[in-house]
Homo-oligomer: A and B are copies of this chain.
Amino acid sequence: MLLKTLLIAGTASATCLHNLSRFKRAEGEVKVGTFGYDGLIGPLNWASLAEENQVCKSGKTQSPINILDAEVTLATEKPTLDIPEQKVEFENLGTTIEVVVNGTTKFGGTDFRLKQFHMHTPSEHRINDEYYPLEVHMVHEGVSDTSSLAVISILFQLSTGASNPLLSGLQPHLKAIAEPGTKTEIESLDFASVIEHVQTTGLFQYNGSLTTPPCAEGITFLIAKQPLDIDVATYNEIKSIVKFNSRYSQNKLGEANLIDVASKAGTAEQFDAPTAVAKAATEDEAAAAAEPEPTPTKGQTVTISELHGKPTHLVGVVVRR
């Protein structure tokens, strides 16, 4: 009776209870994730799922973020990737689909081992507010310090043309891993265009976290500014398998965890949220805006010319820091 119920609901394995290590895998077994993307196993409750997940609700450098050009800088050096031709395993973990692949990446004077890449749909990171239909995370760990993790992230944009060769190489194998817990082998994948892209395009760099439990921080993220292509059929098929696996945008780096913010919303302790943002709509107003004005205080009356020409009570502002 119990197990029948679990069969219906089940997309995860109880083995994960005693082994949440991110990269360990038992021989021949595909471990299916214990977390999910809604309700009590969803992102707002990940901290309840295991003791080690507390940082999901308390961390202040959580990923993913909305990457704003003005706030996140581009890496000043390029990584060097080497992924030898090899047979790879393509797995459905329930929470994502993943390719287990070996490679080496040098970045910032450190040698990393590529362990796997996996997919999020829709994208987890946004660039200047905009999301993308697919994000691929290439997960690396340090060679000398395996607790040092780096993720190279590539966004994909829908195209009427062909998918990038990495995705078109995966596409024929999607049917074999349609169900959580299944896997298949692929003789070879073409990483050349992805490596070329990562080594030549601008990469946003910041220090964030795993986007899944246990949300561990101190992860180096390198996110390609320009997306690669995905075709309609491949996108629809990946989406039909993965369904949805995108954590909500986290707060700005260094600011309070949004769950801390949420729990105080509407109370006396609430974070000073902006209740309105003014927007100058014409060039005249933009010119006026360029003149230095004193910084307003909460409750102060500020004249904003856009609003029917009348003075307006500005109770909050959004500024860039």
Interface of A toward B, CB cutoff 8 Å: 1-18, 26, 32, 34, 37-51, 53-54, 56-57, 65-66, 70, 121-122, 126, 128-131, 133, 157-160, 180-181, 232-233, 235-236, 239-240, 243-244, 248-249, 251-252, 255, 258-259, 261-266, 270-281, 285-286, 288-296, 302, 304, 306-308, 312-315, 317-320
Residue of B nearest to A158 (CB): B232
Asked if residues A48 and B273 are in contact (CB atoms below 8 Å), the reply is yes
Report, nearest first, the 4 A-B pairs whose CB atoms are least far apart: A263-B263, A3-B289, A10-B279, A129-B243
Asked if residues A45 and B258 are in contact (CB atoms below 8 Å), the reply is yes
Asked if residues A273 and B40 are in contact (CB atoms below 8 Å), the reply is yes
**A243: shortest Cβ distance to chain B, in Å?**
4
Complex contacts, A275 vs chain B, CB 8 Å: 17, 34, 48-50
Asked if residues A66 and B38 are in contact (CB atoms below 8 Å), the reply is yes
**A275: shortest Cβ distance to chain B, in Å?**
5
Complex contacts, A18 vs chain B, CB 8 Å: 312-313
**A299: shortest Cβ distance to chain B, in Å?**
13
Whole-angstrom CA separation of A160 from B236 in the bound complex? 11
Asked if residues B265 and A259 are in contact (CB atoms below 8 Å), the reply is yes
Asked if residues A312 and B14 are in contact (CB atoms below 8 Å), the reply is yes
Q: A40-B261, A48-B265 are in contact. Are A181 and B279 (CB under 8 A)?
A: yes
Counted per complex, copies of this chain come to: 2
Residue of B nearest to A32 (CB): B279
Complex contacts, A293 vs chain B, CB 8 Å: 1-3
Complex contacts, A292 vs chain B, CB 8 Å: 1
Residue of B nearest to A292 (CB): B1
Contact of A279 among B11, B41, B42, B307 (CB under 8 A): B11
Asked if residues A48 and B270 are in contact (CB atoms below 8 Å), the reply is yes
Complex contacts, A233 vs chain B, CB 8 Å: 160
Asked if residues B6 and A279 are in contact (CB atoms below 8 Å), the reply is yes
Asked if residues A122 and B130 are in contact (CB atoms below 8 Å), the reply is no
Whole-angstrom CA separation of A270 from B51 in the bound complex? 12
Contact of A249 among B38, B313, B314 (CB under 8 A): B38
Asked if residues A9 and B266 are in contact (CB atoms below 8 Å), the reply is no
Complex contacts, A317 vs chain B, CB 8 Å: 2, 5-6
Complex contacts, A6 vs chain B, CB 8 Å: 277-280, 289, 317-319
Residue of B nearest to A241 (CB): B130
**A32: shortest Cβ distance to chain B, in Å?**
6
Complex contacts, A43 vs chain B, CB 8 Å: 248
Asked if residues A276 and B17 are in contact (CB atoms below 8 Å), the reply is yes
Whole-angstrom CA separation of A41 from B57 in the bound complex? 18
Q: A10-B280, A290-B4 are in contact. Are A262 and B312 (CB under 8 A)?
A: no
Whole-angstrom CA separation of A131 from B320 in the bound complex? 32
Complex contacts, A133 vs chain B, CB 8 Å: 122, 133
Contact of A271 among B45, B236, B279, B318 (CB under 8 A): B45
Residue of B nearest to A41 (CB): B274
Whole-angstrom CA separation of A70 from B96 in the bound complex? 24
Contact of A265 among B38, B46, B181, B258 (CB under 8 A): B46
